[in-house]
Amino acid sequence: MIVPLPTRMVRRSRGFTLDCGTSVRATPGAEPAARLLRTLLRPATGLALPLADHGQIVMALDAKLVGLGEEGYALTVNEHGVLLRAATRNGLAHGVQSIRQLLPAQALRSSRVSEVEWTLPGVDIRDVPRLPWRGFMLDTARHFQPVHVVRRLIDLMALHKLNVLHLHLTDDQGWRMPVPAHPLLTSIGGWRTETNGDGVPHGGTYTRAELEGLVAHAAERGIRIMPEIEMPGHARAALAAYPALGIAPEPLPVWTRWGISDAAFGMHALGFVREVLAEVLDVFPGEHVHLGGDECLLPETVHAQFLKQASKYVLDHGRTPAAWEPTSDVRSVLMPWKDETQATKALERGQPVVMAPHTSTYLDYPQTEGAHEPPGQPGFVVTTRDVYDVPLPDGVLGAQCQLWTEHVRSRDHLEYLAFPRLAALADTLWSQRPEWEGFTTRMRLHSSRLAALSVPAEMRRERCEHS
């Protein structure tokens, strides 16, 4: 009853019970996975699971294993112990999450649980994802999301074997990315005087050390972080700090409303953009850097030239740009959010595509039509079934959900909007044969896991009324 559904799982007659005498043996290179397992299980079980040469739980990293790819794993549980094997560290990290889900749901709690037998059922699992990009975008610009909230979100993503966290770090309403050469970006651009007339100042920024800590935390769990710096539009916060960079160099405050500002970088800001991107590339080691690129009121030719130059900088430094709109370079990843037509045209050009259609992946839309739903983007309802049925044309890398945070001021609100819809995305992208009825059956048990993790299953509207 694992979410997402494993490629192949066969039940054995007898399982294995973890107790105070259980230890872990890790082959060379598998030590991070062993550490992760111990870190995740100790709070609820109280078990130390020490490393030992003859441990009953064996974690083996073997690059010669065939058929498991970059993220697959093989897991065997019988009366003698547990054997987890993979060809990569990411594969082992995904296998650790399956071990967690095979235990009683109480194993996911954050405090000690007594009078529970920590028994793993006997199984043989061989598991490989269907698609390589299984992502989630978190907007930290509209409402700042503290580090502890992002770390917990990474943990929840890892449980579901999602593997890309797209951090939206800048927008009209706030700039969260520190750039030492341009300190006003965070000291001025990171704060706004109010939000939609509420009279309450809002803001926040990350330090370089905090962002590097998030990168490391995610990597230990098989997740890579893709940062996004919006350009040439959605730039009001940056222009509040440095107005001379704009097409109309006049002082502008950080925007206090939602919607699309008409502020944008001018072509003369490309030197500044390159300096920002240099810092981004230094902090975030992953392959992809998102350049935004949508909803800009610049003339089309200027907009295209700006994105082309920014993409060239990223490519020249050995990374791959991503954008919401085409960048004129087929090596860039396109994330079409308007409709499937954008994806079809990009695939015909030979361009990599990650699906992000707003009608099935935008989690700021309400998930039901009920009056109890907290405030969200108007116009659509995106149900769990809508997410499960996200269109996936042949040849795409995968898909990701987006959570824009205009209305999201708390961790509970964020997690209520994210789940169970993120679980649906994970299942439909990982499973070799996605099937909605089977997913809903497995979610009956999985809901108890989410409850053990204190993910809210409901959200009272009055708690969000002033968003």
Say what the pLDDT of residue 250 is.
85
For residue 466, what pLDDT is reported?
Answer: 40
Predicted pLDDT of residue 196: 93
Which pLDDT belongs to residue 114?
Answer: 94
Is 462 a catalytic site residue? Answer: no
Q: Give every CB contact of residue 54 below 8 A, 6+ residues apart in sequence.
A: 23, 25
Percent of the chain with pLDDT over 70: 98
pLDDT, position 460: 67
Calpha distance 140→227 (Å, rounded): 11
Is residue 325 among the annotated active site residues? no
Dihedral angle at the C-alpha atoms of 40, 286, 186, 247, nearest 10 degrees?
Answer: -150
Helix (H, G, I), strand (E, B) or coil at 24: strand
> Under DSSP, is residue 75 helix (H, G, I), strand (E, B) or coil?
strand
pLDDT at residue 249 in the model: 81
Mean pLDDT across the chain, nearest whole number?
Answer: 96
**pLDDT above 60 (res 34):** yes
Helix (H) or strand (E) holding 355: strand 354-355
Contacts of 271 (CB under 8 A, 6+ apart): none
Alpha helices in 169-242 (DSSP H): 184-187, 208-220, 236-241
Residue in 437, 436, 458, 335 with CA at minimum distance from that of residue 386: 436
Ranges of each domain in the chain: 8-127, 133-464
pLDDT at 464 > cutoff 60: no
Query: Which own/partner pairs from 334-340 qualify as long-range (CB within 8 Å, at least 24 positions apart)?
Result: 335/290, 335/400, 337/294, 337/361, 337/362, 337/402, 340/391, 340/393
Q: Do the strands 123-127 and 73-78 form a parallel or antiparallel pair, or are they unpaired?
A: antiparallel
Spatial separation of the C-alpha atoms in residues 185 and 466, rounded to whole Å: 27
Q: Which of 171, 172, 386, 427 is catalytic?
A: 171
Q: Distance between CA atoms of 423 and 448, rounded to whole angstroms?
A: 13
Q: What is the DSSP string of 358-419?
A: HHHHBTTS-SS--TTSPP--SS----HHHHHT----TT--EEEEEE--TT--SHHHHHHHHT
Q: How far apart are CA 290 and CA 292, in angstroms?
A: 6
Inform me whether the pLDDT recorded for 461 exceeds 60: no
The model's pLDDT over 401-429, given as tens digits with 9 standing for 90+, comes to: 999 999 999 999 999 999 999 999 999 99
The residue-averaged pLDDT of 438-451 equals 98
Give pLDDT tens digits for 107-135. 999 999 999 999 999 999 999 999 999 99
295 catalytically annotated: yes
330-335 own/partner pairs: CB under 8 Å, 24+ apart: 333/288, 333/397, 335/290, 335/400
**Under CATH, what is the fold of the domain 8-127?**
Chitobiase; domain 2 (3.30.379)
How far apart are alpha carbons 419 and 387 in whole angstroms? 11
User: Residues 295, 329, 340, 389: which is the catalytic one?
Assistant: 295
Q: What is the pLDDT of residue 465?
A: 42
Look at residue 375 in the predicted model and tell me its pLDDT: 85
- Classify 295 in phi/psi space as left (phi over 0), alpha (psi -120 to 50) or beta: left
Phi-psi region of 395 (alpha: psi -120 to 50; beta: other; left: phi over 0): left
* Options 143, 234, 358, 407, the catalytic residue: 234
Residue among 276, 179, 198, 180 nearest 232 (CA): 276
User: pLDDT grade, residue 328 (50/70/90)?
Assistant: confident
Q: pLDDT at residue 462 above 60? A: no
Choices 3.40.50.300, 1.10.10.10, 3.20.20.80, 2.60.120.330: CATH for 133-464: 3.20.20.80
The angle formed by the CA atoms of residues 255, 261 and 265, to the nearest 5 degrees, is: 100
Burial (Cβ within 10 Å: 0-12, 13-18, ≥19) of residue 15: middle
Task: Compute the distance between CA of residue 96 and CA of residue 346 in angstroms, rounded to an integer.
Answer: 36
- Give the pLDDT of residue 390: 98
What are the pLDDT digits (tens) for 86-101? 999 999 999 999 999 9
Query: Which residues does residue 61 pair with via DSSP β-bridges, in sequence order?
Result: 86
Which 3 state secondary structure label does DSSP give 172?
Answer: coil
Q: Is the pLDDT of residue 463 over 50?
A: no
What pLDDT, in 10s, does the model give residues 257-274? 998 899 999 999 999 999
CB 355 within 8 A of CB 361: yes
- With a cut of 50, say whether residue 384 has pLDDT above it: yes
What pLDDT, in 10s, does the model give residues 284-302? 999 999 999 999 989 999 9
What is the rounded average pLDDT of the residues 298-308?
Answer: 95
pTM value > 0.95: yes
* pLDDT value for 106: 98
Question: Could you report the per-residue pLDDT of 194-221, keeping only the tens digit for each?
Answer: 999 999 999 999 999 999 999 999 999 9
Over residues 140-156, mean pLDDT: 98
Q: 3-class SS at 311?
A: helix
